[in-house]
């Protein structure tokens, strides 16, 4: 009496082929890598100035009364 009829050589081969096929599909559709700039982290004061014009957009206006 065979307690595991699903563990045949053919079914194992199908499972391995399916995993291989899914791996190929994943490798084909994943996004490309993005180049980044890396720098060492140092301890110290941080100062940076931004000189750009800014615009504020308010969608909802509220009036608060006491």
Position 47 scores a pLDDT of 86
Range of the domain at 4: 1-31
Q: Is residue 10 part of a domain?
A: yes
Q: Is residue 42 part of a domain?
A: no
- Provide DSSP, 4-20: -TT--HHHHHHHHHHHH
Number of domains in the chain: 1
Q: Is residue 8 part of a domain?
A: yes
Q: Is residue 20 part of a domain?
A: yes
pLDDT of 43-60, one tens digit each?
999 888 888 888 877 777
Question: Which residue would you say has higher pLDDT here, 38 or 2?
Answer: 38
């Amino acid at each position: 009496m065979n307690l595991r009829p699903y563990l045949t050589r053919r079914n194992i081969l199908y499972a391995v082929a399916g995993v291989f096929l899914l791996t190929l599909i994943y490798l084909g559709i994943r996004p490309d890598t993005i180049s980044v700039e890396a720098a060492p982290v140092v301890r110290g004061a941080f100062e940076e100035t931004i000189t750009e014009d800014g615009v504020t957009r308010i969608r909802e206006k509220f009036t608060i009364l006491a």
